[in-house]
Amino acid sequence: MYTEKVMDHFTNPRNVGEISDANGVGEVGNAKCGDIMRIYLKVEDDIIKDVKFKTFGCGAAIATSSMVTELVMGKTLDEALEISNQAVAEALGGLPPAKMHCSNLAADALHEAIKDYIEKKGK
């Protein structure tokens, strides 16, 4: 049902936690399944220097949150904005159709955090 990569990111999630001085925070949720994701960014010179997440949800939600943090670390904001829902799922080797909405949440939370950063900077 799940790929080895999904199971690895679920059982050994990367970048879990909060960034106390984050300059971008994004939160999204899905009322239907109950998943909630929050992504914290530390951005310097438009480069993501640190990223952490907290997710309440299923294994796929945790795995996609973990993967999206790995995909954006060290990227520019423009590069991070290009990360799509499909890219997150593909990086994990795919998700079952019933769990594809979880990859949507991860990318959406990332985009919300970037939007929050941009709004705080007045750009």
Residue numbers annotated as active site: 33, 102
Would you state the structure tokens that stand for residue 28, as one six-digit string?
């999204």
Question: Burial, 114: exposed, middle or buried (Cβ in 10 Å; 0-12, 13-18, 19+)?
Answer: buried
Taking the chain, what is the end-to-end CA distance rounded to the nearest angstrom? 43
Count of residues making up the chain:
123
36 contact partners, CB below 8 Å, separation of at least 6: 27, 28, 29, 30, 55, 56, 57
69 contact partners, CB below 8 Å, separation of at least 6: 14, 15, 39, 51, 52, 53
